[in-house]
């Protein structure tokens, strides 16, 4: 059985090989290109969780009440709690977590700077729509991963039901003043456009991720038609989320 080379820890103890739930090294990881793609993907998700935590903590300052501030703080905590298992997986793959996340810091920070909410409701819509779109995208990509990595990715996208809080607050605001619906709908559309553009740029700039989606001789991938269907599903899910918020997409 081929083992995946990993850096030895500081004490010189040989690191364990990356294995699946049955103790076997997944065949996919014997391909250096696949392993690089997984490290890139998990690095992107991990930094995405960190930046989401940071953003939610900052947006909590806009909360109109202590209860709202606490609820957003809990959402931020959920995001942050996803980080450690992701970083542990990167280490197990023989990569350094900070280096794995580094390529995504600038583009993710630029996205959040361009889509900084100007008020409490915009922050809630961004948390629900933006994070939902990112989760949908990563779920689509997860279909091309080995089982254990796929399970890790899916687990990192669980929101523990805190999105119900966002839907409730936005709908209440619209009921109180219907005039907020129009600007929030436009905001949601802008978030959708920016997020899709961001995802396309990240994939285009990371050869390993592009190769993962394209597939190979022994791995399925996305042709142009399948890629189009994927973006159609992302758009449809976005429309559903907007409708749940009481907003037109």
In a domain, 239, yes or no: yes
Q: What is the DSSP letter of 243?
A: H
Total of domains in the chain: 1
What tokens does 11 get?
């004490």
Domain at 126, CATH number: 1.20.1260.10
What tokens does 43 get?
């690095």
Confidence bin at 99 (pLDDT 50/70/90) = very high
Predicted pLDDT of residue 218: 60
In a domain, 4, yes or no: no
CB-based burial, 70-95: b 16+ in 10 Å, e otherwise: ebbeebbebbeebbeebbebbbebbb
Are the C-beta atoms of 144 and 213 separated by less than 8 Å? yes
Contacts of 23 (CB under 8 A, 6+ apart): none
Q: Tell me the average pLDDT across 23-50.
A: 84
Sole residue written with tokens 């390993």 = 208
Averaged confidence pLDDT in the chain = 85
pLDDT > 90? residue 4: no
Share of the chain above pLDDT 90, in %: 56
Higher pLDDT, 217 or 221: 221
Q: Tell me the average pLDDT across 21-47.
A: 80
Confidence bin at 128 (pLDDT 50/70/90) = very high
Residue 84's domain comprises 27-245
Q: How far apart are CA 179 and CA 36, in angstroms?
A: 48
In a domain, 131, yes or no: yes
Per residue in 39-67, pLDDT tens? 999 999 999 999 999 999 999 999 999 99
Predicted pLDDT of residue 14: 41
In a domain, 163, yes or no: yes
In a domain, 52, yes or no: yes
What tokens does 98 get?
């900070």
In a domain, 49, yes or no: yes
In a domain, 240, yes or no: yes
Q: Residue 15: left (phi > 0), alpha (psi -120 to 50), or beta?
A: beta
Predicted pLDDT of residue 9: 47
DSSP per-residue codes, 89-108:
HHHHTT--HHHHHHHHHHHH
Q: Tell me the average pLDDT across 154-174.
A: 88
Predicted pLDDT of residue 103: 93
Predicted pLDDT of residue 2: 36
Confidence bin at 1 (pLDDT 50/70/90) = very low
In a domain, 9, yes or no: no
pLDDT > 90? residue 13: no
Sole residue written with tokens 């559903």 = 240
């Amino acid at each position: 059985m081929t083992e995946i080379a990993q850096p030895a820890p500081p004490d010189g103890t040989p690191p364990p090989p990356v294995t699946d739930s049955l103790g076997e090294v997944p065949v996919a990881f014997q391909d250096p290109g696949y392993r690089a793609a997984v490290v890139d993907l998990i690095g992107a998700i991990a930094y995405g969780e960190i930046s989401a935590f940071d953003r939610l903590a900052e947006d909590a300052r806009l909360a109109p009440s202590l209860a709202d501030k606490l609820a957003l703080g809990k959402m931020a905590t959920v995001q942050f709690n996803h980080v450690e298992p992701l970083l542990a997986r990167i280490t197990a793959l023989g990569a350094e977590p900070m280096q794995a996340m580094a390529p995504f810091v600038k583009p993710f920070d630029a996205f959040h700077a361009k889509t900084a909410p100007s008020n409490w409701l915009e922050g809630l819509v961004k948390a629900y729509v933006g994070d939902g779109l990112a989760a949908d995208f990563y779920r689509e990509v997860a279909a091309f991963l080995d089982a254990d990595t796929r399970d890790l990715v899916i687990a990192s996208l669980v929101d523990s039901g805190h999105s119900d809080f966002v839907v409730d607050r936005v709908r209440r605001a619209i009921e109180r003043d219907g005039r907020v619906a129009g600007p929030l709908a436009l905001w949601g559309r802008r978030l959708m456009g920016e997020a899709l553009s961001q995802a396309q740029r990240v994939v285009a700039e990371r050869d390993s991720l592009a190769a993962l989606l394209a597939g190979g001789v022994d791995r399925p991938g996305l042709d142009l038609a399948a890629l189009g269907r994927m973006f159609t599903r992302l758009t449809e899910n976005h429309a559903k989320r907007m409708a749940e918020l009481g907003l037109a997409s």
